[in-house]
Amino acid sequence: MNLKLAYGRGFLDVAFPDDRTTIIEPAEQAGLPDERAAVTDALDQPIGCASLRALIKPTDRLCILFTDITRATPNERLIPWLLDYLKDHPRENLTLLNQLGTHRPNTRDELEEMLTPEVVRDYHVINHEPENEEALVQLGTTRSGAPALINRQAVEADWRIVTGFIEPHFFAGFSGGPKGIMPGVAGLKTVMSNHGHANIGDPRATFGRTEGNPLWEELRDIALRTGPKFLLNVTLNERREITGVFAGDMLQAHERGREFVRKSAMQKMDEPFDIVVTTNSGYPLDQNLYQGVKGMSSAARIVKEGGLLILACECSDGVPNGSPFDKLLRESASPEELLTRIATPGFVRPEQWQSQIQALIQRRARVVVKSSLPDEILRACHLTPCDDIASVVRDELNRLPVNARVAVLPQGPLTVPYLN
């Protein structure tokens, strides 16, 4: 059989053996027939609170938090519709804040692509600055005692309108909801504390789990320390069509949205597979190898111990090269050495959580990557490069027993398989 694997802005056509391959995809969700009307209706009839228009006053300073370029949120539709809904609100009382977390700032061209040129031209749009102490306000501490720092624009506004989309998340349970504030607009020190060795290594910090997940519960608690909030989250299918709109009280609306996602994205499997092929759901999530760990994580849930995991992730934006994630991988002689370093008391590095998860996956399985990165860069990151996924699968099956099986996740972490 030939399957189309999401890759960059297109697809890879890959042949797999018909009799030994299981395709794992989200349950089909149709796009809403009128997306804009659904968004407007959700703003007027939200979950757990009054309509957005009834909540805000003309004198209120509003901070609209939007997801960055690594996320698939249809900002180019969602944000203009939201701003049109707020068209009677004084424009000087509106700030649009990019939820970068610890990612790099987005360029003006990228912001125009994400939000439309008209929004960037007509509104105050800024990137979050996770390392600029003057741009942050402390709201207590994390459980480990680090300062809980949140962007000043978000904290000092009268209302925070937190936008984004909900999908399974590999250590926070689900994206969206309070993640738009923490880590979306949190300080680097705060994120490093929350994403520290103990939380990342906790088995409860995984796909589909929020309550009881120490990492998610802390980010929720920190997000709740800010003032009044209104959530506008959507769910998407693989065509980036909006399948659901969840607006209103941050926790109640998010809970409703994540249960909607759970029904389509979580797929039960009876047994692990010898080979698991996954993507990172294509652009924008597969822009770099750092984000590619999400696709690895989804596949790792159903691969046999010692099995083969193949990731298709274009990496048009590099590792990113020279990033803390890149440096930490290169400085470590092996995944095991990296895990030892991260577990050393007092060792703290930005983005160590992503390299920790990659190394833990590599304890379980061999990882091969199809990307646009040079082979030497992938090897420096302790990964095996791959030019032809079909031939790698064929060679692996030839050395395995005749009952060996292959699983394919064409949309990567948009599907979260789990073992029964």
pLDDT number for residue 174: 97
Q: Where are the domains of the chain?
A: 2-26+270-419, 35-264
Q: How far apart are CA 287 and CA 371, in angstroms?
A: 10
- Nearest alpha carbon to residue 165 among 248, 74, 39: 74
Q: Mean pLDDT over all residues of the chain?
A: 96
Q: How far apart are CA 303 and CA 396, in angstroms?
A: 14
195 among known catalytic residues: no
> Mean pLDDT throughout 300-327?
96
| Helix-helix angle 324-331:352-364, to 10 degrees | 50
pLDDT number for residue 28: 86
- Nearest alpha carbon to residue 290 among 204, 417, 377: 377
SS3 for 68-82 is: CCCCCCCHHHHHHHH
Q: Which CATH number fits domain 35-264: 3.40.50.1820, 3.40.50.11440, 3.30.110.60, 3.40.50.620?
A: 3.40.50.11440
103 among known catalytic residues: yes
Residue 149 has pLDDT above 90, yes or no: yes
> Mean pLDDT throughout 379-386?
97
Tokens describing residue 343: 């577990």
Q: Using omega within 30 degrees of 0 as the cis cutoff, is the peptide bond preceding 320 cis?
A: yes
Catalytic residue (one of 89, 128, 169, 254): 169
Q: How far apart are CA 415 and CA 324, in angstroms?
A: 28
**Based on the number of CB atoms within 10 Å of its own CB, is 210 exposed (0-12), middle (13-18) or buried (19 or more)?**
buried
Identify the band that residue 420 occupies on the pLDDT scale cut at 50, 70 and 90.
confident
**Based on the number of CB atoms within 10 Å of its own CB, is 107 exposed (0-12), middle (13-18) or buried (19 or more)?**
exposed
Identify the band that residue 152 occupies on the pLDDT scale cut at 50, 70 and 90.
very high
pLDDT number for residue 372: 97
The DSSP secondary-structure symbol of 31 reads P
For domain 2-26+270-419, give the CATH superfamily.
Answer: LarA, C-terminal domain (3.90.226.30)
pLDDT number for residue 81: 98
Catalytic residue (one of 103, 128, 195, 382): 103
Largest Cα separation within the chain, whole Å, is: 70
**What global pTM score does this model have?**
0.90
Determine contact, residues 381/319, Cβ cutoff 8 Å.
yes
pLDDT number for residue 79: 98
pLDDT number for residue 229: 97
Identify the band that residue 238 occupies on the pLDDT scale cut at 50, 70 and 90.
confident
Q: What is the pLDDT of residues 19-45, one digit of tens each?
A: 999 999 998 899 999 999 999 999 999
Q: What is the pLDDT of residues 191-209, one digit of tens each?
A: 999 999 999 999 999 999 9
Residues 6+ apart with CB under 8 A from 50: none
Identify the band that residue 248 occupies on the pLDDT scale cut at 50, 70 and 90.
very high
Q: How far apart are CA 265 and CA 274, in angstroms?
A: 22
Residue 73 has pLDDT above 90, yes or no: yes
Q: What is the pLDDT of residues 158-185, one digit of tens each?
A: 999 999 999 999 999 999 999 999 999 9
Please give the sequence-ordered ranges of beta strands (E in DSSP) within 291-347, or none if there are none.
303-312
The DSSP secondary-structure symbol of 289 reads H
Q: Is 308 left (phi over 0), alpha (psi -120 to 50) or beta?
A: beta
Q: What is the pLDDT of residues 270-300, one digit of tens each?
A: 999 999 999 999 999 999 999 999 999 999 9
